């Protein structure tokens, strides 16, 4: 399993770059292509963790746990390298997120039973809340016609994203981590990472609300113009 985890991400990125005509319906610059490929790779990671994580919670397979562990850590390291070497400056804050995520995953090795399962469930919920953002980014970057239908669909997508994010990321994830706190409070770095991830979620919720209101404003303007 480790060789698969080590080679999958560079293989996927190279495959996407060499077959861009299948998922990009317009001519795009090298930088735009790199961002679209990174977005697709990140979405693939999130979906994989959701699927494999749920299977693990049902089967409790130790082999599957270690696969998820290495698969995810290698993704965060590879994505950090990709951001750095491609100089995608707007993604630099992801270094903090990726570092906290790697430490969180490493700490899973210290726990068993309900605490470990709860932490993994929390990780799955985080990835579920990320899924809409990957599709919305793709939708924004691959649609050239900005008409009423475009804004109506975008508005609905952002509303669904906001609702999912608020419920799972802020309420459910917060509750799960509160349950875990008494078991992990002796690890200040881990606690700081979890609190940091939650604060990032609060901040991103604020940005999602701003984005939704901006899209709503654009939608109302184009309705009046038409």
Note the pLDDT tens digit of each residue in 1-38: 666 777 888 888 888 888 887 777 667 777 888 888 88
Question: Quick check: is 88 in a domain?
Answer: yes
Q: How far is Cα 198 from Cα 191, in angstroms, rounded to an integer?
A: 11
The average pLDDT across 124-149 equals 90
The average pLDDT across 109-138 equals 92
| pLDDT confidence band for 48 (50 / 70 / 90) | very high
CA nearest to 72, candidates 152, 168, 8, 18: 8
Question: Quick check: is 218 in a domain?
Answer: yes
78-100: pLDDT as tens digits: 999 888 888 878 888 888 888 88
171-219: pLDDT as tens digits: 999 898 888 888 887 888 888 888 888 888 899 899 999 999 999 998 8
- For 126, the domain range is 2-18+28-225
Question: Quick check: is 200 in a domain?
Answer: yes
Question: Quick check: is 138 in a domain?
Answer: yes
CA nearest to 136, candidates 150, 125, 120: 150
Question: Quick check: is 101 in a domain?
Answer: yes
Take residue 168 and report the two structure tokens written for it: 């799972």
The average pLDDT across 126-135 equals 94
Q: How far is Cα 124 from Cα 128, in angstroms, rounded to an integer?
A: 6
Mean pLDDT for all residues in the chain: 88
Question: Quick check: is 23 in a domain?
Answer: no
Cα-trace Rg, the chain: 19
What pLDDT does residue 67 have? 92
Question: Quick check: is 39 in a domain?
Answer: yes
Cα–Cα–Cα angle for 203, 206, 211, rounded to 5 degrees: 130
Looking at 26-184, list the stretches that DSSP marks H as alpha helix, in order from N- to C-terminal side: 30-59, 62-85, 94-107, 113-142, 148-164, 173-184
| pLDDT confidence band for 77 (50 / 70 / 90) | very high
Q: How far is Cα 82 from Cα 85, in angstroms, rounded to an integer?
A: 5
Cα–Cα–Cα angle for 119, 65, 4, rounded to 5 degrees: 130
What pLDDT does residue 2 have? 67
What total number of domains does the chain contain?
1
**What torsion do the CA atoms of 74, 75, 77, 80 make, to the nearest 10 degrees?**
170
Question: Quick check: is 165 in a domain?
Answer: yes
What pLDDT does residue 226 have? 63
């Amino acid at each position: 399993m480790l060789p698969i985890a080590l080679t999958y991400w560079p293989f996927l990125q190279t495959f996407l770059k060499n077959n861009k005509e299948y998922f990009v319906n317009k001519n795009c610059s090298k930088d735009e292509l790199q961002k679209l490929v990174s977005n697709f790779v990140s979405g693939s990671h999130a979906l994989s963790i959701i699927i494999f994580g749920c299977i693990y919670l049902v089967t409790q397979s130790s082999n599957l746990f270690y696969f998820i562990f290495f698969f995810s850590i290698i993704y965060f390291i590879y994505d950090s390298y990709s951001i750095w070497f491609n100089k995608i400056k707007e993604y630099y804050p992801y270094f903090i997120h990726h570092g906290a995520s790697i430490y969180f995953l490493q700490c899973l090795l210290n726990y068993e039973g309900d605490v470990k399962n709860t932490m993994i469930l929390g990780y799955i919920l985080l990835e579920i809340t990320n899924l809409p953002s990957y599709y919305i980014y793709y939708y924004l970057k691959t649609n050239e016609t900005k008409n009423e239908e475009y804004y109506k669909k975008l508005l609905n997508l952002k509303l669904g994203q906001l609702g999912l994010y608020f419920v799972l990321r802020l309420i459910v994830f917060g509750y799960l981590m509160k349950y875990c706190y008494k078991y992990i409070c002796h690890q200040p770095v881990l606690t700081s990472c979890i609190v940091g991830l939650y604060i990032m979620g609060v901040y991103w919720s604020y940005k999602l609300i701003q984005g939704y209101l901006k899209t709503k404003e654009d939608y109302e303007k184009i309705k009046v113009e038409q």
